Amino acid sequence: MFNFRNSFFDSIPPVTRNLLLINVVVWLVCGVIDRSGLVFGFLAMHSIGSDFYVYQLLTNMFVHLDFWHLFFNMFALYMFGRAMESYWGPKRYLIYYLITGVGAALIHLLICMFQPIPSISFGASGAVYGLLLAFGMTYPNMPIYLYFLFPIKAKYFALGFGVLELVYGLTNRVGDDVAHFAHLGGMLFGILLILYWRHEYKIQQWFKRCLSRLKTKKSKPTYSRQRETDYEYNYRKKLEQDEIDRILEKIKLSGYNALTENEKKTLFNAKK
């Protein structure tokens, strides 16, 4: 007998499958079971100056209250996450997902610093927008069907969503409670991480050269000239004078043109 449930979940790569399950479980706890809001307040990210804790940079991306908020984020995670996990592998994919999610939260915190009203943010949207960007950069010509009807190349789809988020974020419409700059933050951290991975060897070699130069400068020996004793000074001056007397004697006997370049230089320096 064909088991659709097992075959469906088995078709989803492990990290994406676990992320989907974690988000659904947290939604059930925060949005359905815990009516007091205690768990939600603990996991969601508060603005700095209210009830903010560092761990919320990570936990907020697994929190949803509204079913449709959860549904669309998980649909996008399923849609883009499968492809990117298969392309990168589980480890790199998970690193990317978490970094873009935390990066989105950091950008949102930065924006909130310029707003006097405390806010609470939550949701996987920042990481999802990071996955959208990664999909667009990795499979730029892959068609994505908008409203399941209109095919758009992935690169234009990602670019279009990025532009829309920027416009909505700058216009700051009344009643708009969407963290648009958090979405852009996920895309920003995503593109930086992808560019780093694409040029990882060159960047590492550049850092190694810089560190090598710094170590060379630090380890370069320095010499300090010791002060001469009176005896050493007099002895050195006597040798210099003897050399000058010899050169002068040579000029008397053979003329100036008979001097070598070194002898001319020694005589010139003695006149200074």
Are residues 144 and 262 both part of a single domain?
Answer: no
Q: Is the pLDDT of residue 257 over 90?
A: no
Return d(Cα 139, Cα 141) in angstroms, integer: 6
In a domain, 222, yes or no: no
- pLDDT at res. 6: 63
For β-strands 143-146 and 150-153, DSSP reports them as: antiparallel
Domain boundary among 168, 203, 238: 203
Are residues 126 and 261 both part of a single domain?
Answer: no
Single-letter code of the amino acid located at 244: I
In a domain, 223, yes or no: no
In a domain, 13, yes or no: yes
254: domain range?
230-270
Return d(Cα 166, Cα 172) in angstroms, integer: 10
Are residues 113 and 241 both part of a single domain?
Answer: no
- pLDDT at res. 172: 77
- pLDDT at res. 96: 97
The pTM of this model reads: 0.73
Are residues 135 and 265 both part of a single domain?
Answer: no
Are residues 254 and 142 both part of a single domain?
Answer: no
Residue 173, domain CATH: 1.20.1540.10
Identify the sign of the CA torsion 129, 134, 140, 143: negative
- pLDDT at res. 1: 46
In a domain, 242, yes or no: yes
In a domain, 149, yes or no: yes
In a domain, 104, yes or no: yes
Are residues 236 and 196 both part of a single domain?
Answer: no
Are residues 155 and 237 both part of a single domain?
Answer: no
Are residues 67 and 112 both part of a single domain?
Answer: yes
Q: Is the pLDDT of residue 58 over 50?
A: yes
* DSSP structure string for 35-101: TT-HHHHHHSEEPTTTT--TTHHHHGGG---SHHHHHHHHHHHHHHHHHHHHHH-HHHHHHHHHHHH
Q: What is the pLDDT of residues 186-223, one digit of tens each?
A: 999 999 999 999 888 788 888 788 888 887 776 655 55
What average pLDDT does this structure show over 8-28? 92
In a domain, 139, yes or no: yes
Are residues 99 and 165 both part of a single domain?
Answer: yes
In a domain, 221, yes or no: no
Are residues 265 and 132 both part of a single domain?
Answer: no
Are residues 63 and 194 both part of a single domain?
Answer: yes
Q: What is the pLDDT of residues 114-164, one digit of tens each?
A: 877 778 899 999 999 999 999 999 999 999 887 778 889 999 999 999 999
Q: What total number of domains does the chain contain?
A: 2
Are residues 118 and 245 both part of a single domain?
Answer: no
Q: What is the pLDDT of residues 66-115, one digit of tens each?
A: 899 999 999 999 999 999 999 999 999 999 999 999 999 999 999 888 87
